[in-house]
Amino acid sequence: MDGEISQLMEMGATLAQAKAALKQYKDVMEAAEAIFEGRFDNAKDDDGDVDMESSKPIKAVKRQASESEDEDGSADEMEEDDDEDDFVDYDSDFGETIDKGNGVPDVDPYAGIFYSKERREEVIEIEEEPELYTPTGTNTPLKLLTQGQWMKGCPEKGEQGFLFGLYSQLSEPDFNCPHDCGAKIQRTRGDFFALHSDFLSYIKRLRSVARGKCTRCHSEVCLACREPIGAEKGRATSSSSDPLFHCSDLQGLILGVGLTMLEQVFQDQKEETADSGEQSSRNSKRRKTDSGGDDDVPSVSGIFSMSSSKKSKGGIGYAGDQKEDNSGQIEAQNAQRSKDEKLGKFLGALRVFLPNLHRAGGGQSSDYLVHPTALVHVRRRFNHVCSTLLRNDSLTDMSDRSVLYFELLNWLETISNHEALASMMAMPIMVVASIKSVNTVKSSGQQKGTIRERTIIYEGSSSPRELLEGLAIQARAAMKGLEGNKPQETVSEELTEEQKRMTVEANAKEAVQAQNLSDESQKLLNFCRRILGTIKAIDRSLREVKGDAFVDRLHSSLPKISTTSSESDSKAYRIDSATSDEMTRKIYTDWSMSARFEYCDLSIPSATISEDEPPHYKFFFDAEARTLANSDIPKRSLAIAKELAILTTNLPVAWDSSIFLRVDETRVDIIKALIIGPEGTPYQNGCFLFDIFLGPSYNQSPPNVKYMTTNGGKYRFNPNLYADGKVCLSLLGTWSGPGWISGKSTLLQVLISIQSMILCEEPYLNEPGWASSAGTPQSKAYSANVRRMTVKTAMLGNLKAPPEPFRDIIRTHFRLKAKSVSAQLDDWVRKDDGKQTVGDGGSLSRDSGTVNNGLPKDVEELKGHLQKLQESAK
């Protein structure tokens, strides 16, 4: 019985209501429904007094009040009851003591902020059959928002109490006139909770019925808060004739219903896009990789074709004269634009009702006294839409959809500008991880049919501010790309590499402004500035509300682009014999994530080159790069800007295989790539280097790519990787087949194609004439030969003489994976056929005799280097 009482009280019932309802109903849900219908509003406790409120919502209300401050800046006082079950303690009142350097200790009141995304919550959600309501003057029945929908997605017990309380209050059919004239004022639940076809229709209807008149004393009353119109709740700087701004109850209602409608529109659009994608896939004659609707998300379509589910007979990049099908692209773009406009207008109309002390004409009543349910709805429902949109990997796609994303940024700024909402920018977003169970039960009382109880597991995910930082990284990279080729700056020798980088970045904005940008470039630049401006505004608001220490801790947890991959930094990622395999994988992935993209100086210092002459680069395409020094090609700069935005946050990193990129800090068209051979292939854990140059006609034509791990031009590692460094891919125009698509294909697409399709499990099949020889002795001998070359050159050779600028990357890669690599080497020695290593594996003969090919010696030497790496990290 006590457990059932507690469950009802967590839903917002009072102790007296819970006891009375459970005496009459055995089932908790039946009791809850009866309480919700108002049958136990006058329930009394054992001593005869009416128990007006549950203790838990009271504490939660006080806790919520701590999110805002009084007008004079002092925080609201709180009771000293710290029962952790009553609310989530996001902010600690007992913070760390901080010395600001002036000898006076200061207290950080938010030192205990809950940042962890490991948090899990379990909550029971109810799905009921919605009732129908026909508004006066219409013949169209509308569905009513059910209590289950109203409370959906809320894992916090205290918040559930707020939501339950407001829904119950607004569902009461009448209430006493506040002037004590003895009359009852009637109202209809459907006027509050009817789900109209669009938000503006809902607002128009609510505005017309939000106020009522007493039939006896003729006084005007707000039907939401039940207070006289002349006694506005809260502190308003100006009066408003709009009845929807009278009280915080209306604010909570509008945001709850509006965000429910927004979420449904957003979900419908996603499902429509998914259905359209499935239909397009069914109609396609070739296999394509789904890009999720983003033009810039890398796809391997266009690399090779599949006429059926069987393996292509043409090898990698040898697909004949098939063409990329671009039909329907304009239609899809127009459809997406229409959806974005609809969603953007919805967000704009709903943003009007967010708490905002800076609105035109001054703050309204609800702007000062924010209803707790408003905070709950914004954090639950808007954060879901927000996080989905901000996880878009393509800055260019977001810029093209600026009608939606500019409004999204307006929302984030409005939220961050209010002291009661600002903390949400740093809080982890709770998302559905799984559905634990689903039970169907019969409903009781007035409602007919059945209801479903679903036990949902929620997990923490990235906060809005963290998601924005990922976009900021892309935005800064795009702005750097828009600079074009800059002349080499003369920098004082006293400056460190970090200071050099900061000097370059400080001139970025000025350099971009000095260029005559195209309309498309200017559009992208404006969008990048808008992102960075929003982030600056959010951080400024958080500093004002939460303090510098809070924001500094937040910044330390945000994703970053590495400014240096020095070995001293890499040693922060340590493992030892006691480190579990799971933790080792995590440490390796975290390190890869932090080091995958970096700007650095790729030029060769020389005392013989004059100041007017461009520098040389340790780079295969040095001559081509010097020819384009100080060039200004706007289309090329825009293409490079888009490319850098993608590469900064989308390079794949994993235990199995990763891609690392180094871009020259003043010549962003000069790039070096390192691809770690994928697990399960004869390239596994080898380090394969490529020089990449984005030529004068990029992105109208593909990049220039040269393979550098060739053992001095002796080894051909794959039918598509020649000993002279040629990379054979139709994407690069080095073979017939679906090729580079101007404005759509990307360098990331090329890199992933090399990683997944060239450095593959059975490279013998990449040769057109051998494509049907899977599992044959020839194929196995070819893979064994590749393994020997990988050990000698891509592993041992690169570890003994690590090529710049990947020295620390290569050493850290082998240090963190030493145990795994050792086991891999032992397996390769067992599998080896003992034949002589042949530089061009295509000349292997089945009848060649067994010889001492040097693999055991190379493996033994490599293990010795692995041991030294591990010892040096201790």
Catalytic residues, by residue number, are 728
- Spatial separation of the C-alpha atoms in residues 356 and 345, rounded to whole Å: 19
**pLDDT score of 128:** 84
Which DSSP symbol is given to 842? G
**pLDDT score of 53:** 37
- Spatial separation of the C-alpha atoms in residues 553 and 550, rounded to whole Å: 5
- Spatial separation of the C-alpha atoms in residues 199 and 258, rounded to whole Å: 6
**pLDDT score of 308:** 32
Say which residue the tokens 């090399």 belong to.
754
Kindly state the average pLDDT of the residues 449-477.
87
Calculate the dihedral angle through the C-alpha atoms of 494, 496, 499, 503, rounding to the nearest 10 degrees. 60
Asked if pLDDT for residue 167 goes beyond 90, the answer is yes
**pLDDT score of 93:** 35
Kindly state the average pLDDT of the residues 293-302.
36
Please report, for the chain, the start and end positions of each structural domain, with discontinuous segments joined by +: 2-108
- Spatial separation of the C-alpha atoms in residues 522 and 516, rounded to whole Å: 9
**CA 638 to each of CA 442, 516, 523, 744: distance values in angstroms, whole numbers, following the listed order:** 61, 12, 11, 13
**pLDDT score of 845:** 53
Higher pLDDT, 363 or 696: 696
Give the tokens for residue 659. 């891609």
Asked if pLDDT for residue 500 goes beyond 90, the answer is no
Strands (E), 402-468: 429-442, 450-461
Phi–psi pair at 627, nearest 5 degrees: -65, -35
Calculate the dihedral angle through the C-alpha atoms of 788, 790, 795, 796, rounding to the nearest 10 degrees. 40
Asked if pLDDT for residue 105 goes beyond 60, the answer is no
Task: Find residue 674's DSSP bridge partners.
Answer: 660, 689
Highest-scoring range by mean pLDDT, 536-550, 598-612, 784-798, 848-862: 784-798
641-676 burial, b if ≥16 CB within 10 A, otherwise e? bbbbbbbbbbbbbebbbbbbbbbbbbbbbbbbbbbb
The pLDDT confidence band at residue 64, using thresholds 50, 70 and 90, is very low
**CA 739 to each of CA 696, 698, 736, 750: distance values in angstroms, whole numbers, following the listed order:** 18, 14, 8, 11
Contact present, 542 and 416 (Cβ < 8 Å) = yes
- Spatial separation of the C-alpha atoms in residues 208 and 191, rounded to whole Å: 10
Least confident among 147-156, 281-290, 462-471: 281-290
- Spatial separation of the C-alpha atoms in residues 482 and 814, rounded to whole Å: 36
Burial class for 596, CB neighbours closer than 10 Å (0-12, 13-18, 19+)? buried
Q: What share of the chain is helix, strand, coil (3-state, %, to 5)?
A: 45, 10, 45
Q: Give one DSSP letter per residue of 296-321, joined into a string.
A: TS---BTTB--SSSSPPTT-TT--TT
Least confident among 183-197, 490-504, 511-525, 560-574: 490-504
Is residue 508 within a helix (H) or strand (E), and if so which, with residue range?
Answer: helix 508-514
The pLDDT confidence band at residue 617, using thresholds 50, 70 and 90, is very high
Kindly state the average pLDDT of the residues 652-675.
95
**pLDDT score of 485:** 55
Cis amide linkage into residue 805, ω under 30° from 0: yes
Higher pLDDT, 429 or 75: 429
Asked if pLDDT for residue 673 goes beyond 50, the answer is yes
Contact present, 649 and 470 (Cβ < 8 Å) = yes
First CA to last CA distance, the chain: 59
Give the tokens for residue 860. 């033994």
Contact present, 404 and 388 (Cβ < 8 Å) = no
Asked if pLDDT for residue 505 goes beyond 70, the answer is no
Least confident among 33-47, 667-681, 725-739: 33-47
Kindly state the average pLDDT of the residues 733-742.
80
Is residue 29 within a helix (H) or strand (E), and if so which, with residue range?
Answer: helix 28-36
**pLDDT score of 569:** 62
Contact present, 576 and 567 (Cβ < 8 Å) = no
Give the pTM: 0.75
Q: Mutual orientation of helices 28-36 and 2-10 as an angle, nearest 10°? A: 40
- Spatial separation of the C-alpha atoms in residues 709 and 732, rounded to whole Å: 19
Give the tokens for residue 12. 């917002």
- Spatial separation of the C-alpha atoms in residues 555 and 542, rounded to whole Å: 11
Long-range pairs for 182-187: beta carbons < 8 A, 24 or more residues apart: 182/216, 183/214, 183/215, 183/216, 183/217, 185/212, 185/214, 185/215, 185/221, 185/223, 185/226, 186/212, 187/212, 187/223
For residue 332, the one-letter residue type is A
pLDDT averaged over the chain?
Answer: 78
**pLDDT score of 277:** 59
CA angle at residue 48 from 42 to 54, to 5 degrees? 60
Kindly state the average pLDDT of the residues 390-416.
90
Which DSSP symbol is given to 217? T
Least confident among 77-91, 760-774, 833-847: 77-91
- Spatial separation of the C-alpha atoms in residues 554 and 23, rounded to whole Å: 50
- Spatial separation of the C-alpha atoms in residues 788 and 837, rounded to whole Å: 7
- Spatial separation of the C-alpha atoms in residues 97 and 111, rounded to whole Å: 9
**pLDDT score of 268:** 87
Q: Give one DSSP letter per residue of 698-711, joined into a string.
A: TTTSPPEEEE--ST
Give the tokens for residue 120. 């899990």
Contact present, 49 and 30 (Cβ < 8 Å) = no
Say which residue the tokens 């059910």 belong to.
146
Asked if pLDDT for residue 180 goes beyond 70, the answer is yes
**CA 231 to each of CA 176, 225, 227, 774, 845: distance values in angstroms, whole numbers, following the listed order:** 16, 11, 7, 83, 96
**pLDDT score of 712:** 92
Count CB atoms within 10 A of the CB of residue 223. 22
- Spatial separation of the C-alpha atoms in residues 174 and 189, rounded to whole Å: 10
Burial class for 77, CB neighbours closer than 10 Å (0-12, 13-18, 19+)? exposed
Asked if pLDDT for residue 310 goes beyond 50, the answer is no
Kindly state the average pLDDT of the residues 387-397.
87
**Taking phi first (over 0 means left), then psi (-120 to 50 degrees means alpha), and beta for anything else, what does residue 729 get?**
beta
pLDDT digits (tens, 9 = 90+) for 5-33: 766 665 667 777 788 887 777 666 667 66
Asked if pLDDT for residue 561 goes beyond 90, the answer is no
Burial class for 730, CB neighbours closer than 10 Å (0-12, 13-18, 19+)? buried
- Spatial separation of the C-alpha atoms in residues 789 and 764, rounded to whole Å: 15
Nearest to 754 by CA among 615, 643, 657: 657
Q: How many residues does the chain have?
A: 874
Percent of the chain surpassing pLDDT 70: 73
Asked if pLDDT for residue 99 goes beyond 50, the answer is no
Kindly state the average pLDDT of the residues 405-416.
93
Give the tokens for residue 156. 């916090």
- Spatial separation of the C-alpha atoms in residues 670 and 834, rounded to whole Å: 41
Its sign, for the CA torsion 503, 479, 292, 766, is: negative
- Spatial separation of the C-alpha atoms in residues 580 and 843, rounded to whole Å: 43
- Spatial separation of the C-alpha atoms in residues 145 and 137, rounded to whole Å: 20
